[in-house]
Amino acid sequence: MSLVILALGFPVALLLERAREVDLSITIPFFLIVIWSAIRLSFAAAKVLAAMPQIVFYLFCYIWLGLAPLLQVQQGGGPLPYYLDGSEYRAAGLLVVFGIAIYEFSLNATAPNSFRSIAPRAPRPPRAPRDRGFYLLVSLVIVVAIFMIATVGGVSALWTSRQEFSAGVYGGGEDKALGAITSSVLIAPPFVALSALIYRGQRDEGRLLYSAAIVALLVLNILINNPISQGRFWFTTVWGVVGIIVIMRLRVNPWWLPVAFVTATLVVFPNADVFRYAGSSFSNFKLEPAGEQLVDKGDFDSIQQIALGIRYAADAGFGLGQQSVSTLFFFVPRSIWPDKAIDTGSVLANYVGFGNANLSAPLWIEGYMDGGLVLTAVFFAGLGLVHKALRHQNQLTFGAAIFSFYQLVILRGSLLASMATGAVVLAMYLLMTATSNPRSGLPARTRGLGEREKSRDPLE
């Protein structure tokens, strides 16, 4: 049923919303993306939690690189005010198909028998929230969060519009490295700590301490990671991760999640930016049809940016790794490194003279502009390997839960802009987890998440 809904229901309904003749030679790559993503989302429904990183990846492909481009080509233009011809859209679609193919090969390929026989290795046990010192780390997160709230202007600053909050944290200068790090230290640690605490469950510490920690971290996340001052991709990351961990703890099979994710993204996500700008209020809210949003709203500029990036590379040549090096060393201020690259989305905005530099740069075009098809292949082979490493039988590992939704920020880009928060999330993940019990292959002392045994966890 989900395959029919995703492969036929949504595309047909949206295309008929504003019916118009379509050039099939341009739309074939996007039909392929929609159909393949629908197949992968539907077949993952049987083990949806264990496959969560793949589900979120194909959610992005399905909507941002499948449905949205189909409608934009049908209507003769997208949300950004520059012209792209059919051949450029087709090239962008083929680049997306190329990246997906490399990802699939990397995710599913196995080593040749000759290599596996030389060095057979047991699967590495996943990392899980630690026992020793866990509540000391939680206490430290709470203290640092309170300090960071005071640093950015208090609770009132957290509930201003995203525009006002960003101006206060980042300032008006070109060098935004310090602002990005400040914002990341504010928003990421409470999120990872709350996720780890729910995943870990109550153990020997007792109900009172566990409940107090849950309440404190929940309040901090509501204050800090709210939909008013924070971007929707980050808000989706935080509460999407918390949501799937809670679903896992409830021991249900949420086979309906892929269709629910698509429906929420089409209906809720594009209409949820009512507080984005200063002076906004609920009185500004107006529910727009999904088809209009996919064509007209800047959230869905991904395929235009990919097509524009291909044009940019043809004019200016490939970056030969400059953007990637700047991304790796994102923390170096421009006062020290004047030639540090700017966000790829801003590069493309400057290229066409577009005033709004806050544009996406999907991972496909990040790789292509910096190193052609070779670097694009490297990026998606790497993504496939990350997904493979996070996969552990039929279990949602903590690493998979955290990465699954944060990859939306990476996939949409710009990659450089995602690095500060990603680095803090990774550091917190490593700090708050430890290698699982190698004999069980499941988190030490919490094997009840995969097999029942005596535990003080009230969910057992």
Strand pairing class (433-435; 127-129): antiparallel
Whether the pLDDT of residue 219 is over 90: the answer is: yes
Q: Which residue has the higher pLDDT, 28 or 270?
A: 28
Query: What is the reported pLDDT for 197?
Result: 92
**Helix (H), strand (E) counts: the chain:** 21, 2
Query: What is the reported pLDDT for 447?
Result: 40
Whether the pLDDT of residue 226 is over 80: the answer is: yes
Q: Tell me the backbone φ, ψ of residue 129, rounded to 5 degrees.
A: -50, 135
Query: What is the reported pLDDT for 275?
Result: 59
Q: Which residue has the higher pLDDT, 161 or 456?
A: 161
Average pLDDT, the chain: 80
* pTM confidence score: 0.84
Q: Which residue has the higher pLDDT, 205 or 382?
A: 382
What confidence tens digit (pLDDT) does each residue in 333-361 have?
877 888 888 888 888 888 888 777 778 89
Query: What is the reported pLDDT for 326?
Result: 87
Query: What is the reported pLDDT for 176?
Result: 62
Lowest mean pLDDT among 122-126, 158-162, 336-340, 437-441: 437-441
Euclidean distance between CA atoms 73 and 65, whole angstroms: 12
Q: Write out the two tokens for 176.
A: 């935004």
User: In terms of Cα–Cα distance, which of 102, 108, 127 is closest to 400?
Assistant: 127
Cβ neighbours, 10 Å, residue 114: 7
Q: What percent of the chain has pLDDT over 90?
A: 27
Highest mean pLDDT, choosing among 111-115, 368-372, 453-457 = 368-372
Q: Residue 454 — very low, low, confident or very high, per pLDDT cuts 50/70/90? A: very low
Q: What percent of the chain has pLDDT over 70?
A: 81
Query: What is the reported pLDDT for 450?
Result: 38
Query: What is the reported pLDDT for 170?
Result: 63
User: In terms of Cα–Cα distance, which of 442, 447, 452, 379 is closest to 410?
Assistant: 379
Whether the pLDDT of residue 43 is over 80: the answer is: yes
* Concatenated DSSP letters of 296-341: H-GGG-HHHHHHHHHHHHHHH---TTHHHHHHHTTTS-TTT-TTPP
Q: For 73-91, what is the mean pLDDT?
A: 83
Q: Residue 227 — very low, low, confident or very high, per pLDDT cuts 50/70/90? A: confident
What confidence tens digit (pLDDT) does each residue in 308-337 have?
999 999 998 888 888 888 888 888 887 788
Whether the pLDDT of residue 183 is over 60: the answer is: yes
Q: Which residue has the higher pLDDT, 286 or 152?
A: 152
What confidence tens digit (pLDDT) does each residue in 399-423 have?
889 998 999 999 997 888 888 888 9
Radius of gyration over every alpha carbon of the chain, rounded to an integer in angstroms:
22
What confidence tens digit (pLDDT) does each residue in 379-396 have?
999 999 999 888 776 788
Query: What is the reported pLDDT for 180?
Result: 72
Q: Which residues of 81-112 are buried (b: 16+ CB within 10 A; e: fewer)?
A: eeebeeebbbbbbebbbbbbebbeebbeeeee
Q: For 273-291, what is the mean pLDDT?
A: 60
Query: What is the reported pLDDT for 91?
Result: 92
What confidence tens digit (pLDDT) does each residue in 235-270 have?
888 998 999 999 988 887 787 888 888 888 887 777
Q: For 155-165, what is the mean pLDDT?
A: 74
Query: What is the reported pLDDT for 184?
Result: 85
